Amino acid sequence: MNEKPLSKRQQSILQFTHGYMEDHGRPPTIREIGKAVGINSTSVVNYNLGKLEEKGYLDRDPDVSRGLRLTEKAGTVAHSVGQAVGNAAASMRDAVESLIVRVPLWGDIGASASPLPTVNDVFPAYDEEDAVVVSSKMLKVKSDNLYALRVRGDSMIDAMVNDGDIVIMQPHTEARNGEMVAVYLRNDMSATLKRFYVEGDRVRLQPANPTLQPIYVDPEEVQIQGKVLMVLRQTE
């Protein structure tokens, strides 16, 4: 006759008892077992211990407070259960990782009346390990080359981009009129976030703030670095 499999509660009791004895060198009390596995009644704990004893997983001495001894059979099951839990946790971590995208945070981008001076070719660099986490479901493009910039300034507030927000950028070297872009200005060695417009022989970099004036530059001075794909609002 096949032995009835252990219930989840009995598996939890075995696993906890096995781990407790490895850590402390002695078995747990009835109350410690109940607290660990979420059983408030000591009689319910005793019932399940009795079932485990009947099935050969442990021996009990009813006259001793910590009168439990796990059999070799119990050690094998506890190890298997622990391994299964570990595998399930690893699978869950993998599933979560598949739903998120880590976008490198390259640095700051000026969104002010004046572009933000840079200390390298494009943006003031952050640590290369800095990144922001974005749900993959929020992205409608491939995430391979995306990067993030932290906004400094309030020139784009009417476009719902505030000081301290993070913009997710998609690399581009060209833009259509009205698109919000990160621009590197070669002559000034500075970077800014503005709406882009070509007007005859000049480029207008338009803020989204009625208190600020647009920036007019020669097209040769403008190097488009990317378009804004998403804005991550930062709240205190």
Residues 111 and 57 in one domain: no
Domain boundary among 76, 97, 118: 97
Q: Cα–chain-centroid distance for residue 55?
A: 44
Check whether residue 105 and residue 203 sit in a common domain.
Answer: yes
Count: domains in the chain: 2
Distance CA 139, CA 101 (A): 9
Q: Are 133 and 146 in contact (CB under 8 A)?
A: no
Instruction: Give bridge partners of residue 232 from the DSSP assignment.
Output: 166
**Inter-residue contact 166 to 151 (CB < 8 Å):** yes
Give the domain-ending residue among 59, 82, 97: 97
CA gap 190, 84 in Å, rounded:
55
Answer yes or no: do 107 and 70 share one domain: no
Separation CA 87–CA 82 (nearest Å) = 9
Q: Is residue 1 part of a domain?
A: no
Distance (Å, whole) CA 154 – CA 160: 10
* Alpha carbon 38 to its chain's center: 29
Each residue's pLDDT, cut to its tens digit, for the chain (236 residues) gives 466 778 888 888 888 888 888 888 888 888 899 999 898 888 898 888 888 888 888 888 777 777 788 887 766 665 555 565 555 555 665 555 556 788 888 888 887 655 555 544 455 555 556 788 887 777 766 667 888 899 999 999 999 999 999 999 898 889 999 999 999 888 888 889 999 999 999 999 999 999 999 999 999 999 998 999 989 887 65
Final residue of a domain: which of 46, 78, 97?
97
Q: Which domain holds residue 56?
A: 8-97
**Same domain, yes or no: 128 and 13:** no
Same domain membership, residue 71 and residue 134: no
Catalytic residues: 155, 194
